[in-house]
Amino acid sequence: MAMTIHVDIVSAETALFSGEAEYVIVPAEMGEVGIYPRHTQLLSRIKPGSVRIKKPDVAEEELIYVSGGMLEVQPYVVTILSDTAIRGKDLDESRAQEAKRLAEEAMKNHSSAMDYAKAQAELAEAIAQIAAIQKLRKHS
């Protein structure tokens, strides 16, 4: 049996995942971070993207989209706190494409720096959701 690490993914709405994993890959602010059991302690912000979880005795990774948030790593526990977290299979591509289109339109028609920054953040989230959907298709 492989060594495992406990993973908790929590959004503002619900605890989305709690279980054991052989490894977890997280979109940290400075790039993807691979976390295995007995990983050194780490605290990092995460950016919108896909968290990939390899559960024991399951061939395919589980994919969960996160909108950003915080990552805390202890030697045997990984905790991800995110404003929004969605299971890969629950992502809606048409909604993500529409959000991307609206964000791009808002960036063109911005009236202030704040509007532009908000549109940029919404665009980054929509692009990350689309990328998560594409990753899920490749693994299926």
Domain limits of the chain? 5-88, 91-139
pLDDT at 39: 93
- Residues ≥6 apart with Cβ < 8 Å to 89: 136
DSSP alpha helix (H) spans, the chain: 93-108, 113-139
Q: Which residues of the chain have pLDDT under 70?
A: 1, 91-93, 96, 110-114, 116, 136-137, 139-140
Q: Is the pTM of this model over 0.85?
A: no
- Using alpha carbons only, give the angle 132, 138, 140 rounded to the nearest 5 degrees: 100
CB contact at 8 A, 51 and 42 = no
- Residues ≥6 apart with Cβ < 8 Å to 116: 107, 110
pLDDT at 45: 95
Domain 5-88, CATH homologous superfamily name and number: F0F1 ATP synthase delta/epsilon subunit, N-terminal (2.60.15.10)
pLDDT at 124: 76
